[in-house]
Structures are given as structure tokens and as C-alpha cells.
Structure 1
Amino acid sequence: MKNIKLAVIPGDGIGKEVVPASLKVLDTIADIHGGMKFEYEQFEYGCDYYLKHGSMMAPDGMERLGQSDSVFLGAVGDASKVPDHISLWGLLLKIRREFELEINVRPAKVFSGIRSPLVNPKDFDIMVVRENSEGEYSSVGGRMYQGDDEIAIQNNVFSKRATKQAMEHAFRLAGVRRGHVTSATKSNGIFHSMPFWDEVFKETAAGFEGIETASRHIDALAASFVTHPERYDVVVASNLFGDILTDVGAAIMGSIGIAPSANLNLNGRHPSMFEPVHGSAPDIVGRGIANPIGQIWTAKMLLDHHGEEEMGRLLLETMESVTADGFLTPDVGGTNTMDEVTEQIIGRLKR
């Protein structure tokens, strides 16, 4: 029996709704598989935890999370309770940094039954690989002086190791997909870091024969995601550029509520973390209409990560059969509840 131990953090807002729904789906997958079992340890870390304890997680939180095989996260943040910079740096970004989750992978594709806002989406299927640990989100810099003389300095940090690691991951993905990698750059406007990025991309590409490459400036690339998304296979981007592109990807899919992501540790010293792209959506909490697809698709990526690609394919196909038959939550034009969509997925998996 293959046991997969998950540290489960529902987090805030609709995370507390879509995570339990997704665990039911994972249990169904395990029952179908027969030789696999999920073991869950629940952690109530989040904004409510902060209000009670003054921190987003327990002092030994990272140690306890590190005893799992993977972390399954719902959503982090509720600005009405806790400022975003406290909630994100105290939980989500803390896990990403301390567990060395240096690569973030987010797919964007035409999803059966969910209408893209694009007039002709042309069956786009994109995988964005985002460097997840440094770049524009490096916490290097500071503020000085006061009043009209105040200045803020934010330093971008790009190491060759982390940059090349993200690019190599993108090339490996392209090797099992359609064989093309596009690099997101801005070397015509950012003087130091982006020419460096371009140089590392060219060097990395030389080690992957048979993979076609292209380099596009981020502004033109973001526009092209809207006008010609079908042109792209795997896109590799820095922390900020990848963040922007994947939100565009979610938008052209039809809703950020269906977009998944994986934060990957590649050195084997810490668990990886899986989370949907959507936020905590406090405006719809308790109404039963949260879209579970993003969290369940995230579970599919978790299955792939643990070597269960066949079960992952089955789950994705089942989700698309449900949405194709019109079982949709309001954010994608439907009238179904979260529970109704989830139960359709579970029922079809069992059949």
C-alpha cells in the first residue's frame, strides 16, 4: 500500500470549503486505485489563527509541515482581519522560502464546458514555469528619509543557479509536451537582470537538442497570450513575470477559480506544496458557490507529482466531463453549488 501523507492547510475564506471537497475527491481516487491511501494532518493556520495567537502558524509549524510528503493548501489572506503583508509573509511565502519551493508550475488550457472570454481560443494549452524564490520578489532593499524626500529601493536578485534550474525544468516539460519553450524577458528595458536572464536561457537551451525556443518581451508576450495563446507550449518566466502571465492565463481560461498550481522542491529536502491560484474570496464565503475546480485540479497536479499520472489523467478527464455537461458554479456562468459539482465528479469517478 502506497501511503501519501498530506499536511492540509485550508487557510482562509473559501479555502475552508474547497479543501474538504477536494479531500473527498482524493479519497475516491484512492479507493479506485486500491493500492494507494492518503493520510491527512489538518493545520488550522491562517488569519483566524493569527487573531488568536499573534502569528500565522505555530512556532513549530514548519517542522511539523516538513514531516509530510506534500502540503495541500487552500487559500491565504483576509485583509479585513489581517494585513496582506502579514498573512502572506507569515504563511504562504514563509513556506515557499523555507521549504525551497523554487519553481512554480501553472497550466492554462481550454477547459471543456467553460467558456473562454476569447472569441476563438483555438484549444490553447500552456504550461508556465515560474522561478519562485528570488527575482523581483526578493526582499532586498529598504526605505529612507521622510516626507517628500522619502525613497524606496527594491533590488531584484537573480542567481544563475535558480534561473537555470527553472529553465531546465521548463525544457524537460517541453520534452514530454510539444517541444517548444518561450522565455519571458524585458532586456530592452531592464538593463542588468534581463540580459543576464537571456544569456542563461541561451546557455541552457544548448543542452536540450530538439527543443525549439523563442524569447519574447513580457509586454508583447502578455498581449499575445490574449491574441494568440495557441502559439505557446511551455513558457519560462521570472517571479514577477510568471505571476502576471499566469493570471492572464487564468483569465483566458474563463475564471481564476479553476486555475491550479504546484510549488516544487527539487532537492528532496522538503515537501512540495500544491495550491489553487485563486484567493480566499471572502465575499462568497458561506454561500456554497465557490468553484472547487481550481483546488481539485491542484489535487491532480499533486497526483502527478507523486507518480500517479494515470490517476491524474482520469481526474482531469472526469472534471472536464462534468463541466462539459453544464455542471458549473456561478463564476463560470452556471447555477450549481460547490457540492453539486463535487458530487458529480465523485459519482463519475466511481462509475
Structure 2
Amino acid sequence: MDNQKTHQLAIIPGDGIGKEVVQEGIRVLDFISKHSPNNFNFETDYFPWGCEYYLEHGRMMDEDGLERLKNYDAIYFGAVGFPGVPDHVSLWGLRIAICQGFDQWANIRPVEFLPGVPSKLNHPDTDTLNWVLVRENSEGEYSGIGGRNFTGRGPGKEVAVQSSLFTEEGCERVIRYAFDLARTRKRKKVTSVTKSNAQQYGMVLWDEVFARVSKEYPDVETDQWLVDAMAANFVLHPEDLEVVVASNLLADILSDLGSALAGSLGIAASANLDPERRYPSMFESVHGSAPDIAGKGIANPIGAIGSASLMLEQLGYAEEAQLVNQSIRDATAAGYLTADIGGNTSTKEMTDAILEALAKVYVKA
């Protein structure tokens, strides 16, 4: 087709159910590219990196992996982790290596309560709840600074030091991103979360940067919470939440809490963004590799499909992204639910229902 825009995608299915849900997301992307009035398509290259690759080669990805990935338009990632490979090895060897190597410093994790999905939250109006976590994704508690020593002193004498790194530049860019995001939403509000009463250096720096940046956004409402109080607020007053910005570790934990309250980690999408577009961004569902259900065809593909929607948005197809999200809602509202959210729909059937909802939109058009 003349003047068709082709997007090059690097596909890293990874481990366990990652291989299954990524394939479902690609089905949705292919459907969208074929039916959208915008003229685009996807070309995919697969990379077999993950724990099986590690067990064979002694590393989670090729030594020149970042060099091979850097010219793609986006990276679509499944999950990482499998028995036989320590979690810190699998995480640092693949996902974090890519996030830090490409300075994907903004991790976006929406929390959405889908119709028909049983919520774990006792709230009178869950249909109105919808917030997004903005996670600093390149430094903080996941900086990897530290070490272990004194093993020579004998059993029980070893010492481990793990340091967090907070830079003014790193804090400012992710906080500013959160404010810019808030300006695009119906309710313009940013909540900053730290533990600065105990972390008196790095997180006090974060608080000071937040206070300074907030003065440039007088149209955006703000508040600040300590993480323990915010965890309680997720349960007690979720209607107060809109855009929540926090450090690497704190936002990681809070986003899992939010998705669990919404029904399951299986429905949680995320985007690891380089907002400056120097390198490809990476899109992945929040759930793990779930080796206990791998190969059974019952994994929930909604998180992966939602991540594909975030990819579409990043590539410039906001309308198509919105249609995917609405089709997910239409499918769950119609009673299509996988086992983790109280149903018996298979992985493929869940995607089929989403594609059916999408097809109805394009038929009407």
C-alpha cells in the first residue's frame, strides 16, 4: 500500500506466560493496523532472551543486546523469571538492563477498574476510579549501588550495603512528566509519595524538587504523602487519586497494590518510556512469568493488550489506543473473564472477545 508507515517492533516474549500473552497482544496490534483508517503496519523481530537463554548461555541476553535493540521503534516485552534462575539475576540481566541502558526513566502504570471484574475494594462507586502511577524508572532504590563483603570473617559475618541514588535532575524530570500528564486529564492533580521522614537525604531532595516544580503548574492541584499513609489511602480514599508520582521502589509497590485492588495483576499494563525518544520505549504487562500456569492457556492477556495500547499511544495512534482500551472494557462487561478475575475464559477466548468488540467499532465506521 502506498505511503504506508511501517513500525519496527522488537519482541521479547521472555519466560512463562510472557510468551503466551505477548502473542495475544500482537494479534490485537495486527488487527488494528489492518482496520485503522490510518495507514500503518508492524514488522516484528523476535529475540529469545530470558531464563532459558541464560541457562544455555550464562547471560539473560546477547552481549550486544542494547546495540541490536536501539534502532527499533518500540520493544514489546512479556515477562521475566523462571525456577532455576535467581530473580535478581533475571531482572537485572534483562528488564533493568534495558530500562537503564536506554534511560527509560518514566514508567507509566494505569490503575483501572474494569466493568464486570470483581474488585477487591469496598467502594460505593468503583466505576469512577481511574488513576495512574508515574514511577521514576532509572535510579532511586534500583540504582544497583552497593556490594557484599566480609565473607572471610566466617559464617554469619557477611555485610551487604545497598544504596539509593537520587539526583536532582532525575527527580525533576519525572515529577515534571507527572505534572504534564495531569494537565491532559479531566481532573488536574498530582500526588507525590515519599518516605522522607526516614529517608532524610534522597527523599527530602525529592520533596524539595516537587515543591519547586509545582510552582510552575498553578493550575494543577497537589498533595504529598508518606508511602505508608498512601498505601492506606489507596484502600480508604481511592477517589482522591489521579496522578501519583513516586520513586522506583515505592511506585513499583503501590502500582501492584492498585492493580490488586482493581481485581488482578493480570489486568495491569505498563510503559517504560524514554520521553525524549532517543531510544525505543518498552511496553510490558506488570504481572510476572507465572510458571505455575504457563502452557495451560489460562493466562490473562489484558495486561499485555493494555500495554500494546500504551505502545499505540506512544507511536502516535491515540484514537486506536482508546479503542483498544474500550474494547477491553466491552469484553469484560460482557462477562469474558479469565480465571484470575473470577471466570473461565481462556487466554485466546479473552483476546477473541476483545477483537470482536473492536470489529464492531470498525464495522460501524
Return the TM-score normalized by structure 2: 0.94
CA–CA distance in structure 2, aligned partners of residues 296 and 125 of structure 1? 18
> Which segment is superposed worse, 31-40 or 254-263?
31-40
Question: Where does residue 72 of structure 1 map in the other structure?
Answer: 76
Q: Which amino acid aligns with 2:131?
A: I
Task: Please tell me the residue identity of whatever aligns with 2:258.
Answer: G
Aligned residue number for residue 60 of structure 2: 56
Match of 1:216 in 2: 225
Deviations 1:136-155 (A, max 9, x none): 11111222224444322211
Alignment of 1:236-275 (within 5 A): 236-275=245-284
1:111, distance to aligned residue in structure 2 (A): 1.1
What are the equivalent positions in structure 2 for 1:2-13 lying under 5 Å apart?
2-13=5-16
Consecutive unaligned residues of structure 1, counting only runs of 5 or more, are: none
Please list, as runs of the form range in 1=range in 2, the aligned pairs for 1:145-164 lying within 5 A after superposition.
145-146=150-151, 147-164=155-172
2-side partners of 1:83 and 1:150: how far apart?
20
Q: Helix, strand or coil: the match of 1:246?
A: helix
- Counterpart residue number, 1:291: 300
CA distance in 1, matches of 2:58, 2:203: 40
- Residues 258, 294 of structure 1: 8 Å contact kept: yes
Aligned to 2:307, the other structure's residue is in SS state: helix
Q: What CA deviation, in whole Å up to 9, does each residue of 1:26-77 have, x standing for no partner?
A: 0001111141101111111111111222211122221111121000000011
Q: CA deviation at 1:233?
A: 0.5
TM-score (norm: length of structure 1): 0.97
Is 1:125 the counterpart of 2:130 in the alignment?
Answer: yes
Kindly state the Cα deviation for residue 174 of structure 1 after the two structures are TM-superposed: 0.4
What is the aligned counterpart of 1:91 among 85, 89, 94? Answer: 94
Give 4+ residue runs of structure 1 displaced > 3 Å after superposition.
146-149
Aligned position for 1:106 = 109
CA distance in 2, matches of 1:284, 1:303: 28
SS state at 2:191 partner: strand
- 1:288/1:337 contact within 8 Å kept: yes
Q: Distance in 1 between matches of 2:253 and 2:271?
A: 16
Q: Over aligned residues, Cα RMSD in angstroms?
A: 1.1
Matched, 1:172 2:180: yes
1:223 alignment partner AA: A
Give CA-to-partner distance per residue, 1:271-317, whole Å, 9 cap, x none.
00000000000000111100000000001110111111100111111
Give the Å deviation of 1:349.
Answer: 1.3
Query: Alpha-carbon deviation of 1:87?
Result: 1.1
Identity of matched residues, %: 47
- Residue number in structure 2 paired with 1:278: 287
State how far apart, in whole Å, the 1-side matches of 2:324 and 2:62 are. Answer: 34
SS at match of 1:184: strand
- 2: CA distance, partners of 1:145 / 1:112: 55
Which of 127, 134, 138 matches 2:139? 134
Q: Distance between the aligned counterparts of 1:287 and 1:109, measured in 2?
A: 26
Q: Is the 8 A contact 1:6 1:41 kept in 2?
A: yes
| Alpha carbons 2:166, 2:203 under 8 Å: kept | no
Cα pair distance change 1:117/1:153, threshold 3 Å: same
**Aligned-partner SS, 1:297:** helix
- After the TM superposition, which of the residue ranges 280-289 and 120-129 deviates more from structure 2? 120-129
Q: 1:254: how far off?
A: 0.3
**Segment of structure 1 superposing worse, 260-269 or 175-184:** 260-269
Distance 1:142 1:180 in 2: 39
Deviation at 1:347, TM superposition (A): 2.0
Letter of the 1:52 counterpart: E
Deviation at 1:86, TM superposition (A): 1.5
Cα gap change, 1:150/1:51 in structure 2, threshold over 3 Å: closer, same or farther?
closer
Aligned residues: 350
After alignment, is 2-11 or 142-151 more displaced?
Answer: 142-151
Looking at structure 1, the residues matched to 322 and 192 of structure 2 have their Cα atoms a distance apart, in angstroms, of: 27
Q: CA deviation at 1:81?
A: 2.5
* Separation in 1, partners of 2:77, 2:24: 13
Q: Name the aligned partner's letter for residue 163 of structure 2.
A: N
- Which shows bigger deviation, 185-194 or 100-109? 185-194
